[in-house]
Amino acid sequence: MFTENVLDNQVAIITGGGTGLGNRIARTFAAHGARIVITSRSQEHLDEGEKQILPFTDQVLKVVCDVREPEQVKALRDKVLETYGQIDILVNNAAGNFLYPAEKLPLKGWKAVIDIVLNGSFYCSQILGNVMIEQKRGQIVNILATYAWTGGPGTIHSASAKAGVLAMTRTLAVEWARYGIRVNAVAPGPFDTEGARVRLWPTDEIRQRLIDDIPLQRFADPQEVANAVLYLVSPYATYITGECLTIDGGAWLGKGIGRAVEILDDIEKIREATKKNR
């Protein structure tokens, strides 16, 4: 579907692009011709992430930037403009998450996640979006999670922040359409990354319980999520704005589907048995 050069000459900033999904998005964009900027708080994450991207492009701009600090986001903007002279795509991917019962969540944990996900996404959108407004073109994709609208036990901080970013997506889509800027989101269900494995499904048994509730009966491959992000920023999606594309194997529609399917099987067995006894 996609030609190799579908993002030729586009400058794409991916926050949290050193690791996990952010790095996969960066590789995917690079393979389609984009000039890549990755950001992270850690130089080590950036250096490791760059190695993964370099097979697809000859240059990666790495910028240490904590998205919670507007001054650092402004320095990121200046560095990108000095290097490339334009900013075409922003992916707000940086996040923090850990599971905790709401009644016990330390307030500094609440604040940390809200700061990264909600405040960080806004600082990046406003500061980098102003460049897009001047250019009269640009695109933003926000990485959400389906618990932004379903809620999710243990994720009060992240769910609240992602719900805010969903509202931000729709608000900016309407407000900035007049500047030629499209703003969309993707909401993945669970996929394996080192960070998620350690914090969200530390045992195989917990992982399997999560899979049992997914109609497609598996986690996403991060590449499937990256492909959806590529689609949203591609010329194939030029009339899409304010949308949130869910990539979760049907999980949020089929909450409890594992059990529902078992019940269906049992009812089928009863029906078959009744037929035989007639």
Q: CB of residue 84 vs ligand NAP: minimum separation in angstroms?
A: 20
Among 10, 15, 169, 241, the residue binding ligand NAP under the rule CB under 6 A is 15
At its nearest, how many Å lie between ligand NAP and the CB of residue 261? Answer: 22
| Kind and range of the H or E run holding 184 | strand 181-188
Q: How much of the chain is helix, strand and coil, in % rounded to 5? A: 55, 15, 30
Return the number of the residue (45 or 157) whose C-beta is nearest ligand NAP: 45
| Contact call for residue 150 and ligand NAP (CB under 6 A) | no
Site for ligand NAP in 183-242 (CB under 6 A): 188, 190-191, 193, 195-196
Long-range contacts of 152-156 (CB under 8 A, 24+ apart): 153/99, 154/99, 154/100, 154/101, 155/97, 155/99, 156/100, 156/102, 156/105, 156/110
| Closest residue to ligand NAP, based on beta-carbon distance | 20
Stretch that binds ligand NAP, among 28-36, 88-96, 174-182, 267-275 (CB under 6 A): 88-96
Task: Report the nearest approach of ligand NAP to the CB of residue 14 (Å).
Answer: 9
Residue partners of 216: CB distance under 8 A and separation at least 6: 249, 250
CA distance 238 to 129: 18
For helices 20-31 and 222-233, give the axis angle rounded to 10 degrees. Answer: 50
Name the segment binding ligand NAP (CB under 6 A); options: 17-25, 173-181, 227-235, 256-264. 17-25
Contact at 8 Å (CB) between 103 and 111? Answer: no
Determine which one of 147, 179, 231, 236 is catalytic. 147
Would you say 133 or 211 has its CB closer to ligand NAP? 211
> How many angstroms separate the CA atoms of 165 and 121, rounded?
7
Site for ligand NAP in 39-78 (CB under 6 A): 39-42, 45, 66-68
In this complex, which beta carbon is closest to ligand NAP, that of residue 44 or of residue 268?
44
Give residue for tokens 């080192």: 194
Given the complex with ligand NAP, which of 23 and 241 has the nearer CB atom?
23
3-state secondary structure (DSSP) of residue 126: helix
Q: Is 147 a catalytic residue?
A: yes
- Site mask, ligand NAP, residues 99-138, x = CB under 6 A? -----------------x---x------------------
Element (H, E) at 167: helix 156-176
The binder of ligand NAP chosen from 10, 19, 125, 241 (CB under 6 A): 19
CB 230 within 8 A of CB 139: no
Smaller CB separation from ligand NAP, 32 or 68: 68
Distance between CA atoms of residues 161 and 234, nearest Å:
27
Residues labelled catalytic: 147
Site of interaction with ligand NAP (CB under 6 A): 15-16, 18-22, 39-42, 45, 66-68, 93-97, 116, 120, 143, 145, 188, 190-191, 193, 195-196
